[in-house]
Amino acid sequence: MSVSNRQIVAYWVEHEVELVIDWSTAHERCWRCGYRSSLKQCPVVPASMGGTGAADNLVLLCGRCVGEAPSHQDPQYLWRWLRATSSSANETYWTLRGWEEFEVIFGRKPLECFKEAPVDHRSLDAECRALAADEFAKTVVHFGEGRLNPSTIACVIAEIEKKLADRHGIELP
């Protein structure tokens, strides 16, 4: 007997699980990244380790998050992972991961060189938005992914930063 996504949500709402998701949209948004997408029923404990297909052993994740979810016999790890890595703002998770990826690739925080720069930060914000639109137009989503991956977002941030630095005569590290 299969369980519907709404039944899974109803079960966990009743059991007052603390997550950052808004339970009213939990049947259509990934419980980790908050994106509206086709959700997969992800087992808390995998079937190969004794988990069942019942609502008390299922959470709703997008395909990308399912691929990153822990597969362990102890259910505490999945719940701990969800609480530690979930985004409280819908549809920002993968962008935030892009900022983190920038730090890994470049060894510094994005745009940090502009903190002390003698520039009007309000106009810098507007420039940044315009450059972002241009740079995102130069990217492509990997087949089957549905959205940009963190490393592509990191590259877009690097290009925005480089162009802003050139415009304002700032040398990047």
pLDDT reading at 23 higher than 70: yes
Place 1 in a pLDDT band, splitting at 50, 70 and 90: low
| pTM higher than the cut 0.85 | no
What is residue 52's predicted lDDT score, i.e. its pLDDT? 93
**Which of 37, 19, 7, 14 has the alpha carbon at shortest distance from 144?**
37
Q: Determine the distance from the C-alpha atom of residue 92 to the mean position of all C-alpha atoms in its chain, rounded to a whole number.
A: 6
SS3 145: coil
The confidence score (pLDDT) of residue 94 equals 85
Q: What is the pLDDT of residues 28-80, one digit of tens each?
A: 999 999 888 899 999 999 999 999 999 999 999 998 899 899 999 999 999 99
Please give the C-alpha separations between residue 128 and each of 123, 132, 135, 163, in angstroms, as whole numbers. 8, 6, 10, 9
Q: How far apart (Å, rounded) are the C-alpha atoms in residues 152 and 141? A: 9
* Residue corresponding to tokens 């089957």: 144
Three-state DSSP state, 141: coil
The encoded tokens of residue 65 equal 């998050």
Q: How far is Cα 55 from Cα 31, in angstroms, rounded to an integer?
A: 15
Query: Averaged over 100-119, what is the pLDDT?
Result: 87
**pLDDT computed for residue 133 by the predictor:** 87
What is the pLDDT confidence band of residue 12, given thresholds at 50, 70 and 90? Answer: very high
Q: What is the DSSP string of 93-127?
A: HHHHHHHHHHHHHHSS-TTGGGSSSSS-HHHHHHH
- Length of the chain measured in residues: 173
